Amino acid sequence: MLKDDISLAQWALVNEIKAGEWKTLDLPKITREDFDINGIEFVNTLFEVPTVSYLNTLKQNAADYGTELVLIMVDEEGDGCAATAKERKQFVINHRKWIDIAHYLGCHAIRTNCRGTGDISKEEALEIAAETYHMLLDYATESNVKVLIENHGGVSNDPDWMVALMKKVNHPLFGAYPDWREPTAEFDNYTYLEKTIPFAKGMSYRNQPTEEQTAKLIGLCQREGYHGWYGIESKGRDAIKLGKSLLNKYLLKV
């Protein structure tokens, strides 16, 4: 059984890396020395040129600092529910290299986006997204890299639609990556997590407005039997440290 552990999502420190304060190759050192966190979740758009020598250096840096390379968040490579067949085919092609890179680094998964467009119904979106992810999963199977969807708008924000897609695709490497966004009138993240957690293969953790709300979400994960990585994506160093403290406080260690 998987054990609960904490990873650092690179996006939590996006302002620092965009300001040139450090590079992706430095992330293992920062993760261990600044936060004493065990795992790393990368963002593809923050990689420099991922040549073999670059990836070897990244792997060695992770080994040197005792950090596990968990996942790659993939952005700007298309949408899994794009409007045209040509765009969806390109989405699959674009993500293949990130599956290969994830496999080479030892990451267990990539995270994708699946928003769709307002021009198609949810029923049609379900059909075309299922076709797209079947194609991508056919490629991912050989390397055993999971393909996850994070709720980043559009149809992926609808938990019932996501559950329907998970069931329709029905592949052991396919899953959800629930984003613990701040609850709003338009989005109830507790309900979203409650419905999608049977398919979750990772958690995009964010501190909630109150500690009570954070504890409620962590408790839901525990009750529903989720075990695995909680990737802290709360932005900024203080928020990361708070997230680690709350996760350590409320997670039931196994």
| Domains of the chain, earliest start first | 5-250 (3.20.20.150)
Closest C-alpha among 226, 170, 217, 221 to residue 1: 226
Give the separation between CA 190 and CA 148, rounded to whole angstroms: 19
Q: How many CB atoms lie within 10 A of CB 5?
A: 18
Residue 165 is given by DSSP the state: H
Closest C-alpha among 6, 2, 3 to residue 204: 6
Phi first, then psi, for residue 227 (nearest 5°) are -140, 135
Residue 176 is given by DSSP the state: E
Phi first, then psi, for residue 58 (nearest 5°) are -65, -45
Sign of CA dihedral 78, 82, 84, 89: positive
- Locate tokens 């609808």: which residue? 158
Q: What is the pLDDT of residues 202-225, one digit of tens each?
A: 999 999 999 999 999 999 999 999
Give the separation between CA 193 and CA 156, rounded to whole angstroms: 12
Q: What is the pLDDT of residue 1?
A: 44
Order the strands of the 39-43 sheet from edge to edge: 174-176, 146-149, 109-112, 68-73, 39-43, 5-9, 229-232, 203-205
Q: What tens-digit pLDDT sequence spans the chain (254 residues)?
A: 468 999 999 999 999 999 999 999 999 999 999 999 999 999 999 999 999 999 999 999 999 999 999 999 999 999 999 999 999 999 999 999 999 999 999 999 999 999 998 788 999 999 999 999 999 999 999 999 999 999 999 999 999 999 999 999 999 999 999 999 988 888 899 999 999 999 999 999 999 999 999 999 999 999 999 999 999 999 999 999 999 999 999 996 44
Q: What is the pLDDT of residue 120?
A: 87
Q: What is the pLDDT of residue 254?
A: 43
Q: Whole-structure pTM over 0.85, yes or no?
A: yes
Give the separation between CA 128 and CA 136, rounded to whole angstroms: 13
The region that residue 100 occupies, defined by phi over 0 for left and psi between -120 and 50 for alpha, beta otherwise, is alpha
Extract the tokens encoding 231. Answer: 């990737």
- Locate tokens 């055993």: which residue? 144
